[in-house]
Amino acid sequence: MVRSFDGTPVDLDWLDDLCAQALWAPTAGNSAGIRMHTIGPELIAAYFEVATDAAWRASARRAPGLSRAGGAVLVTCRPSDYLERYAEPDKAGAGLHERSAWPVPYWHTDAAMATMALLLLLEESGWQATLWGNFRYDAAVLAWAEADDEELFATVLIGRSDGDDAASASLRRDVASRRARVRRVNG
């Protein structure tokens, strides 16, 4: 993830096409409940106005670099699409027509898969990105994007690195290696 961009604008027609490609990711029951909303460089400042607060914008060391993103994508999901799909005759037997019946809400799973597909497509295209988690202000962001009937999963900020990215303190954590996190089942 890159958290300091140089301001190079993203071509929105290209980004729209890339998002459509990313939506080839799996979707439970072909529910097609994931949406991607593209944001041009001229709206990045407005996005940060609703996605953050003044105190964060004034004090966060990453705020200036992130605010120079050349574009962004809001990844949203529509749980109602999944509930309606799983109420249809061929899926009704699963008992997943009620939101509380989903032990893992696949609208989040599908949003994660589409987001990863988008991140990989961006990387393959020579662009950099960061995943901006949805931790607060989601209602304001959705209202701003005129997507009130959806749930915000995350925002992908896109651009070219300016080389001034501050490494995350999380990278200094002592964690198990990737290989140590793989275990073969010998049933």
Which DSSP string corresponds to 12-65? HHHHHHHHHHHTTS--GGG---EEEEEE-GGGHHHHHHHHS-HHHHHH-TTHHH
Q: The tokens of 181 are what?
A: 């996190």
Q: What is the CA radius of gyration of the chain?
A: 18
- pLDDT tens digits for range 70-115: 999 999 999 999 999 999 999 999 989 999 998 999 999 999 999 9
Phi, psi of 76 (to 5 degrees): -125, 165
Helical (H) or strand (E) element with 73: strand 71-77
9 pLDDT band (50/70/90 cuts)? very high
pLDDT value of residue 168:
80
Q: How far is CA 96 from CA 29, 46, 81, 83, 132, in A?
A: 11, 38, 12, 7, 30
- pLDDT tens digits for range 16-60: 999 999 999 999 999 999 999 999 999 999 999 999 999 999 999
pLDDT value of residue 134:
79
7 pLDDT band (50/70/90 cuts)? very high
- pLDDT tens digits for range 10-19: 999 999 999 9
CATH code for the part of the protein at 12-181: 3.40.109.10
Say if residue 166's pLDDT is above 80: no
This model's pTM is above 0.75: yes
pLDDT value of residue 42:
97
- pLDDT tens digits for range 115-149: 999 999 999 999 999 999 878 899 999 999 999 99
